[in-house]
Structure 1
C-alpha cells in the first residue's frame, strides 16, 4: 500500500514561507496533480516528499512508514524531472537499467524489468540506440521507463512534459495516464498547465501562496471552485466575475438585472459564470462587444458590462463585431457566487 499522508508540513527559506501547514492525503494508486502558478509551493512540496528538501515542520508518511527523516533512496520512490536527466553516452537499455544495476539486482531481473517497461512506453525498438540520438519525446519516454523499472511505491513527476511541443505533450499525456494506471503506482504530478491537470488527474490540488486552496476531482474543481482564485486560475478563458448587490431575500442585482442567488451575510458579493455557460437571448445581461477572437468551432467575445469585462463563447457562425450590443443570458445552474472579502465560495 502506498498511501501518502502529509501532516502539518511547512517550509521556510529564511524569512520566506514557501509552505503553510499543509495537510493532505494521496490515496493508494491515485494520480494526484499539484497545480498552480510558479512560486505557489508545489515543487517544494514534491521535493519534501522526495527527500530533496527537509520540512521546517510536519511529517510525511508513505504507507505505514514515516519517511521525512529517511534519505531519498529508502523511501520507495522514483522521480521524473523536467529536463529528462538521461545519460546521452548510454544506450536506452543501459539508461533504464541504471538504477537496477545500482540496486545490484541479478541480470535476469534487470533484463525482465527493462523489457517490460520499454514495452509499456513503446520504446522497445530503441533499446540499442544511444539516448543522445533520440528526440525529446523519446528521451522523456526513457526517463519514465527508468523510473517505472524500479517498481517504486510512489512516482513523482515535476513538469515532465513542459519541454515538449504541443502535439508531443498530447501524445505523452494519453500514454502516461494509461501506463501509470497499468503499473498501479501512486503518482504525484506537478504542473502549471491546467489542461494536463484536468486530463491526467484523479484529483487536483490547486495551490496558491503555499496553501492548498482546493483538492477535488477535475470536474468538481472546474464546476464548483471553492475560492475565487480557483475559478480565475482554472479555465481558458477563465471565469467571469461581476459585482452583485442585494435586491432582497435571495435576490441580487447584477448589471441592472435581478437574479436569484444565495442568502449571503453581506450586501455585496460577486456573481461568477464561465464563458461557455452563457447564451444569446432576451432579457439577459446587456453587453457591448470590445474584442472578437475566432477559435475555430467557437468565437470568444470580450464585452464591456458597466465597466467590467465579460467573456462569452459563442457559435462561430454568429456574425459579431466590436461595437455590437448583445444580451447574454447565464445558464442558471452554472452561476457561482463568491465573497469579495474572504474570496471563498458562497453556497
Structure 2
C-alpha cells in the first residue's frame, strides 16, 4: 500500500508563505495531478513529499509511515524531473541501472528490471546507445524507465513533458497513463497544462496561491468547479461570467434574461461554459467581435452587456464580426458563484 497523506503542511520562505496548511490524501495506486499556474506552490508541495524541502509545519505519511523527517532515499519514492537528468556519458542501460547499482542489487536482478522497464517504455532497442545521442522524447522515456526500475511505492513527476513538442507530448501522455497503471504505482504529477491534467489524472488538485482550491475527478472539476478560479483556469476557452441580481419575482436578471437560480443570495455571478450556449430565438443579445475557425467548431468571441462572452458554435454556422446573435444557455449547465467569497453556490 502506498497511500499518501499530507496533514496541515505549510511552507514559509522568510516572510513569504508558499503553502498554506495543505491537507490531501492520495489513495494507493491513484494518479494525482497537482495543477496550477507558476508560483502556486505545486512544485514546493512535490519537493516536500520527495524530501527535497522541509515543511515549516505539518506531516507527510507514505504507506502508513510518517516520512517528513526521513531523507529522500528512505521514502520509497522515485522522481522524474523536467530536465530528464539522464547522464550523457552512460548508455541507456547504465542510466536505467544507475539507482539499482547504488542499491547493490545482483546483476541478474538489474538485468531483469532494466530489460522489463525498457520494454515497457519501448526503448529496448536503444539500450546500448549513449543517452547523449538520443532525442528529447527518447531521453524522457529513459528517465521514466529509470524511475520505474526502482519499483518504488510512489513516483513523483515534475512537468516531465514540458520540453517535448506537441505531437510527442500527445504520444507520451497516452504511454505514461498505460505504463503507470500497469505498474500499480501511486503517482503525483505536477503540471500547469490543463490538457495533461484532464487526460492523465484520476483526480486533479487545482492549486492557487499556495492552497488547494478543489481536489476532484477531471469531469467534476470541469463541470462543477468549486470556485470561480477553477472555472476560469480549467477549460480553453474558460467559463463565461456575468453579474446576476434577483428580481422582485425571485428570478435572476442576467444581461436582460430572467433565469431561475439558487435560493440563497440576491447578487451572484452567473457562469456557463462556451460550448454550453446555443443559437436560439431568445437568449443573451450578443455582438460578434472575433471569429476563430477551429475545424469542427468555431470559437466566437462576442460582447454581451458590455462584457466579453465566448461561444463554441458549429462550424457550419456563418458568423461575421458585427453580427448580432441570440445565445441561450443550456439550463442544466449553468453554475452560480458568490461574488464575495468566489465559491460555488
Answering whether residue 188 of structure 2 is matched by residue 188 of structure 1, we say: yes
Answering whether residue 179 of structure 2 is matched by residue 179 of structure 1, we say: yes
Q: Secondary structure at the match of 1:222?
A: helix
Runs of 4 or more off by more than 6 Å in structure 1?
Answer: none
Q: Secondary structure at the match of 1:212?
A: strand
Per-residue deviation, 1:283: 1.0
Q: Distance in 2 between matches of 1:65 and 1:249?
A: 58
Does structure 2 conserve the Cα–Cα contact (< 8 Å) formed by 1:7 and 1:60?
yes
- The alignment's TM-score, normalised by the length of structure 1, stands at 0.99
1:210-221 correspondence runs (5 A): 210-221=210-221
Q: Secondary structure at the match of 2:47?
A: helix
Q: Structure 1 stretches of 5 or more lacking a match? A: none
Q: Secondary structure at the match of 1:119?
A: helix
Corresponding residue of 1:321: 320
Corresponding residue of 1:106: 106
Corresponding residue of 1:237: 237
- The alignment's TM-score, normalised by the length of structure 2, stands at 0.99
Corresponding residue of 1:257: 257
Q: Structure 2 stretches of 5 or more lacking a match? A: none
Q: Secondary structure at the match of 1:178?
A: helix
Q: Distance in 1 between matches of 2:214 and 2:95?
A: 38
Q: Secondary structure at the match of 1:181?
A: helix
Q: Distance in 1 between matches of 2:264 and 2:124?
A: 60
Q: Distance in 1 between matches of 2:343 and 2:56?
A: 28
Q: Distance in 2 between matches of 1:35 and 1:262?
A: 29
Aligned length: 345
Corresponding residue of 1:34: 34
Q: Distance in 2 between matches of 1:85 and 1:179?
A: 20
Corresponding residue of 2:59: 59
> Cα deviation per residue 1:39-84 (whole Å; 9 max; x = unaligned)?
0000000000000000000000001110000000000000000001
Does structure 2 conserve the Cα–Cα contact (< 8 Å) formed by 1:201 and 1:217?
yes
Per-residue deviation, 1:264: 2.0
Q: Distance in 2 between matches of 1:249 and 1:187?
A: 51
Per-residue deviation, 1:263: 1.1
Q: Distance in 1 between matches of 2:238 and 2:84?
A: 31
Corresponding residue of 1:227: 227
Does structure 2 conserve the Cα–Cα contact (< 8 Å) formed by 1:249 and 1:263?
no
Q: Secondary structure at the match of 1:37?
A: coil
1:1-347 correspondence runs (5 A): 1-248=1-248, 250-265=250-265, 267-346=266-345
Per-residue deviation, 1:306: 1.3
Q: Distance in 2 between matches of 1:275 and 1:259?
A: 18
Q: Distance in 1 between matches of 2:321 and 2:269?
A: 26
Per-residue deviation, 1:250: 4.8
Q: Distance in 1 between matches of 2:118 and 2:55?
A: 35
Does structure 2 conserve the Cα–Cα contact (< 8 Å) formed by 1:34 and 1:207?
yes
Does structure 2 conserve the Cα–Cα contact (< 8 Å) formed by 1:250 and 1:262?
no
> Cα deviation per residue 1:191-225 (whole Å; 9 max; x = unaligned)?
00000000000000000000000000000000000
Q: CA RMSD in A?
A: 0.7
